[in-house]
Structure 1
Amino acid sequence: MITPERIMAWAIPGFFLLIGVELLLAKWRGRDAYDSNDAINSLGLGMLSQIVGVFTKLFAIGIYGWCATHLAPWTLPSNSLWVWISGLLLYDLLYYWLHRLGHEVNVLWAAHVVHHQSERYNLTTALRQTGSGFLLGWIAYLPMALLGYPTELFAVVALIDLLYQFWVHTEVIGRLGWFDRVFCSPSNHRAHHAVNDRYLDRNYGGILILWDRLFGTFVQENDDDPPIYGTRSPLNSFNPLWANVEVYGAMLKDSWHARHWLDKLRVWIKPPGWRPSDVAARFPKAGFDLHHARYSPPISPALKFYCIAQFALLLLIGVNFLDVAPKLAWLPAAAYAMYLVYSLWALGFLLEGRRIGMWLELLRTAGTAVLVAVSERWFGVAHLDGRLVVVMVAVFGIGALALLPIAGHERRHADSIRPALG
């Protein structure tokens, strides 16, 4: 039986290979497709989503499995080709409606917004995923469970649907003729990610764009109105934690300030952007400027290189976490997860050119070097090989030492660095 874990193990190297190909192809064509800070932020949010998934993946699967076992009147055969094909089609239809509701219901948008926050559109955007989608997303797929589709089939077709959508997040592939009329394609999905009036809240299909044509939500990309990406309430931050809670926080604030009890509820179920009239009057927000400057705080080339190098190291550590976390006891797994979350949080502040990022990162690198040297342990590993201890202490120690002159340089030129939140 092909498992989701095996499929993902095959897919991850392919993701980074294709990202490299896209980057080279864009350079060759003279296209400005990537910002390193945005790409790091998108990949970091994908890593954060995977970290959360280690602790929550059994949540949706567990509920689905219970319903399929106890509430379905029958169980469909998992060795039947038509069951697999119909299961994938049904999943894609249910995904369409979940995706659509994710743009039409504020509490669902609060989870989905993470995927749309990037003001770039490239293959790293595909990996930019929410950490809170598990809370409500499972509800959409209960019809599959009640119809008797086996849990293992559900898990595999869900992953197939997700993996398909990776390649459509690119600007280097143009129109594809008849394919664009049937399937979700790069052209169709570029329109979905755009905030232009023409494209807003359209093209929800995961694999098939036929659902959009059927339910009246299809729009074709127009060369006279090129897509502009992001959200209508720009995040303006590289903080991965804030990216995940931004809309939840705004809803809580508006619900708290609403004078009418019904409005306190409406905040959560109305479309994104809706606010009670009394709240909007007392706490007005600036209007959306379609042509606002892309968020990209200036940082020195040395700091940019440092962030890229440290994030590459974090990716390797993250792969190790995904491999060992399911085998660890809850406490060391949680501690390992918190270490990675802290690391991504500190790196986000560095990408924004904020001084606190320097202190947080120095604490991380120097602290890691000292703790490994003293304890000769890593999360869940009782005793590290002596040579590995030397390597880890050297790598993190060099990182801490390299950051000191960079921090001094950034401080001396602080007047030339635009404050990230100012």
Structure 2
Amino acid sequence: MNTQELIITWATPFFFVLIAIELMVARLRGRRAYRSNDSINSIGLGVMSQIAGVFLKLLTLGIYAWCVEHLALFALPANSLWVWVSGLVLYDLLYYWLHRMGHEVNILWAAHVVHHQSEEYNLSTALRQTSTGGLLGWVFYLPMAVLGYPLQVFVVIALIDLLYQFWVHTEQIGKLGWFDRVFCSPSNHRAHHATNDRYLDHNYGGILILWDRLFGTFVEEDDRDPPVYGTRSPLHSWNPLWANVEVYWATAVEAHRASRWRDKLQIWLRRPGWRPVDVAARYPRPDYDIGREIYNPPMPAALATYCLVQFALLLGMATHFLGLTAHASLGTLLGYALYMVASLSVIGALMESRRAAFWLEGARTLLTAMLPLLFGRWFGVDPLATPAALALLVMFGLSALLLPWLGVLRAAVAAAPNQRVPG
């Protein structure tokens, strides 16, 4: 486990404490800040992002390290305070441009869109991160490598910038006066996540909002026009895999439909929403409806509780997965990653109350219950202690036994569509 993964792992309990506090404050104010389906989806996407990051280190860190070693103009000392301070400011500036291009270039938006898909705005939204951002995002930080900022400085600074942005994803903190004029704040970032015409594509700063003021992309939150969250092409799914590929797929389809080769290429490089004239004429889209109903398929309370319990178990497994990265084989990590992604996808399908999801979840829970006991091992744990194997047998065996009853409840809710059960 590298430094970044270690710090995020240790910070995770702190994240959940703050989420619990936000939930409590919202309830005391008579507000509903969370829906279990949306929060599971957001945090699950954060888990997938961490899993993907394990396999993208060569791009995100390996190329940076090579550039520092072979292309650096200066040998900046890692023990100098000014290197750290200047590095943080420079990183935040480069983040501003990555973030801005993530809204202005379609292929970059395809990765960044994941963070904006939630139609809620709370601290779990902060954890909603892309799994594909590392494919191209590393390019924007190469100036730091060329200037000679050491890898260990870059890694910690990147983590500081990321962790700072956690607390600004809340509606429970209002405007903060002078702070809003200098730093990215909850008010500034609420405007960034909004789909209202007034706010769209503004406030890209990570720590400092000064970059937006300098480059003309700042907008102030207006109480007369409350932010409406999500994207202008709503996801309408709890599937974390689809959340990550949605825009890539839609863009590939549009490129295939375009008749001119120039359009097939530039659709990836133009602003999100741009369409070739011939494609727009043959495949018109409805106008964006800001007053649309949010995506919230009916789900029995018992099924919501089941999904929360299974998701909690997967969070524990995710921590175990990250702990294995320093010594486990590539095959073990790939197998564990596939199991985690498949499990998160099945839970997403359960929250959509898809009939096939109950069969898939039955297969998943039975295999998780039986195979560790039969083979005496678990991913990265060989041999697996008998008490641990029995614990998996009991937990996931009971889960499998609950599924027929949950399926009956799902059918009852589906038969009474007007009786919506909150997620």
Q: Is the 8 Å Cα contact of residues 299 and 413 (structure 2) preserved in structure 1?
A: no
Q: Is the 8 Å Cα contact of residues 54 and 326 (structure 1) preserved in structure 2?
A: no
- The residue matched to 2:61 in structure 1 has which SS? helix
Distance 1:381 1:400 in 2: 24
- The residue matched to 2:326 in structure 1 has which SS? helix
Name the residue aligned to 1:71: 71
Name the residue aligned to 1:52: 52
Q: Is the 8 Å Cα contact of residues 5 and 322 (structure 2) preserved in structure 1?
A: no
Is the counterpart of residue 411 in structure 1 residue 415 in structure 2? no
1:288 maps to a residue whose letter is Y
Name the residue aligned to 2:308: 308
Deviation string 1:148-206 (CA, Å, 9 cap, x unpaired) is: 11111111100100000000000000111100000000000000000000000000000
1:149 maps to a residue whose letter is Y
1:92 maps to a residue whose letter is D
Name the residue aligned to 2:352: 352
5 Å-filtered alignment, 1:100-249, equals 100-249=100-249
Kindly state the Cα deviation for residue 76 of structure 1 after the two structures are TM-superposed: 0.6
Q: Percent identity?
A: 61
1:148 maps to a residue whose letter is G
Q: TM-score, normalised by structure 2?
A: 0.97
Deviation string 1:240-297 (CA, Å, 9 cap, x unpaired) is: 0000000000110011110011101110000000010111111222211001001000
Kindly state the Cα deviation for residue 6 of structure 1 after the two structures are TM-superposed: 4.1
Kindly state the Cα deviation for residue 74 of structure 1 after the two structures are TM-superposed: 2.0
Distance 1:357 1:28 in 2: 36
Distance 2:114 2:326 in 1: 26
- Cα–Cα, structure 1 residues 413 and 122, in superposed 2: closer, same or farther, change >3 Å? closer
Q: Is the 8 Å Cα contact of residues 169 and 190 (structure 1) preserved in structure 2?
A: yes
Is the counterpart of residue 21 in structure 1 residue 18 in structure 2? no
Q: Is the 8 Å Cα contact of residues 299 and 417 (structure 1) preserved in structure 2?
A: no
1:315 maps to a residue whose letter is L
Name the residue aligned to 1:252: 252
2:208 maps to a residue whose letter is L
Distance 2:48 2:162 in 1: 17
Distance 1:90 1:221 in 2: 26
Kindly state the Cα deviation for residue 412 of structure 1 after the two structures are TM-superposed: 4.3
Kindly state the Cα deviation for residue 317 of structure 1 after the two structures are TM-superposed: 1.1
- Cα–Cα, structure 1 residues 45 and 5, in superposed 2: closer, same or farther, change >3 Å? closer
Aligned length: 418
Name the residue aligned to 1:272: 272
Q: Is the 8 Å Cα contact of residues 298 and 413 (structure 2) preserved in structure 1?
A: no
Q: Is the 8 Å Cα contact of residues 297 and 417 (structure 1) preserved in structure 2?
A: no
2:44 maps to a residue whose letter is G
Distance 1:265 1:64 in 2: 28
Q: Gaps spanning 5+ residues in structure 1: where?
A: none
Distance 1:268 1:389 in 2: 48
Distance 2:413 2:225 in 1: 39
2:155 maps to a residue whose letter is A
Q: Is the 8 Å Cα contact of residues 303 and 406 (structure 2) preserved in structure 1?
A: yes
Between 75-84 and 107-116, report the one with greater CA deviation: 75-84
Kindly state the Cα deviation for residue 404 of structure 1 after the two structures are TM-superposed: 1.6
- Deviating runs (4+, > 4 A) in structure 1? none
- Cα–Cα, structure 1 residues 11 and 290, in superposed 2: closer, same or farther, change >3 Å? same
Name the residue aligned to 2:41: 41
Kindly state the Cα deviation for residue 125 of structure 1 after the two structures are TM-superposed: 0.2
Kindly state the Cα deviation for residue 417 of structure 1 after the two structures are TM-superposed: 4.7
Kindly state the Cα deviation for residue 413 of structure 1 after the two structures are TM-superposed: 4.2
Distance 1:417 1:154 in 2: 52
RMSD of Structure 2 on Structure 1 (CA): 1.3
Distance 1:416 1:46 in 2: 34
- The residue matched to 1:327 in structure 2 has which SS? coil
Kindly state the Cα deviation for residue 56 of structure 1 after the two structures are TM-superposed: 1.1
Name the residue aligned to 1:330: 330
Distance 2:384 2:170 in 1: 42
